Homo-oligomer: A and B are copies of this chain.
Amino acid sequence: MYLNEFELIKRITHGVKISDGKLIQGVGDDCAVIAGESGIAQLLTTDALFEGIHFKKEWMIPRAIGRKALSVNISDIAAMGGKPLYYLVSVGIPKGMPDKDIENLFEGMAQVAMAYRMVLIGGDTCGSGNGLLLSLTVIGEVEHSRCVFRKGAKAGDAIFITGTLGEAALGLACLSNRLRNMEVRDFIKRHDDPIPRVLAGQWFSASGCVSSMIDVSDGLAADLMHIAEASGVGMRIGADKIPLSNEFKSCAGNCGKDPLMLALTGGEDYELAFTVSGGKTDLFEKMLRVVMPTFRHAVTRIGEVVEGSGVLAVDAHGANIPLHSLGFEHKF
């Protein structure tokens, strides 16, 4: 039986030195944050992609695997309001992997890096007897005073999300069901090639209105639970507020999936979920309308932070939607 993630973190950090003078945030947020010069803080994050767990060779070409590996790490920088700068790559290469595939893997990372003017600064390559293994570390920076953590949410804050949720999970379901027609292409792309919300994250942090933020990698309910636990609050989501397109609902039906379940619990969308301080919600929405045209995705208010703990979803009539019945399990 696996420990849940918080229990695990508590145990593995027991007796470990997890703070020093320059460390602003250690284990327990999207990035570690270290104080730097002139009010600039450094952000560090690491995320792995393993063959058979995070991707299947049959489903993704090496270039796409490389792109995704870097993008999901950048997403953690975005969730702090930061700017990505450098990356290190640790790669286990299975015997017989053609040189061209290795090059394409790194070219995929380079494509994403180029979009953010990021620099490859180091790595480790070795053989692997267990399929392709990728672990990346990304370093970024953020103005210290603008850095947004998981722990800042307060009762009365409004909950927002960027873009649409559940689409990556639907894409995965399409891949599992061997659906590859034109209608599902966009959902598969959401799964294969997530776009980290760097620009939006930076703008949210600069707005001065955002009290907490996380990227949606485990699924909305699970990730809001991270904010809830770090902030000591509860989260109330209006299920009817979550944007679900007709194409999404129809495709989910074809895959035998409940669209709302996908949106509430599906992972890997790499959208941002964040809270806006209660007193600043009007100001934030006003500023948002001005800046929205520069984003290529929606920003939607979906609920509010409440006293207490846990994540609650309610329907349009205020009735509780049991998340467990939708497949949400808060576990490691």
Contacts and interface: CB of A to CB of B under 8 A. Distances in A.
A120 B44 CA distance: 12
Query: What is the total number of copies of this protein in its complex?
Result: 2
A121 to B, nearest CB: 4
Interface string A88-107: 11111100000100110011
B52 A135 contact: no
A19 interface: yes
Given A17-B113, A114-B17, A129-B52, A27 B135 contact: no
A332 to B, nearest CB: 7
Contacts of A17: 110, 113-114, 117-120
Contacts of A131: 130
A122 B9 CA distance: 10
Interface string A35-65: 0110000001111101111100000000000
Contacts of A46: 88-90, 122-124, 135, 137
A122 B90 contact: no
B92 A32 contact: no
Nearest to A12: B106
Contact of A126 (B50, B88, B130): B50
Interface of A: 1-3, 5, 8, 11-13, 15-20, 23, 26-27, 31-32, 34, 36-37, 44-48, 50-54, 85-86, 88-93, 99, 102-103, 106-107, 109-110, 113-114, 117-131, 133, 135, 137, 139, 332
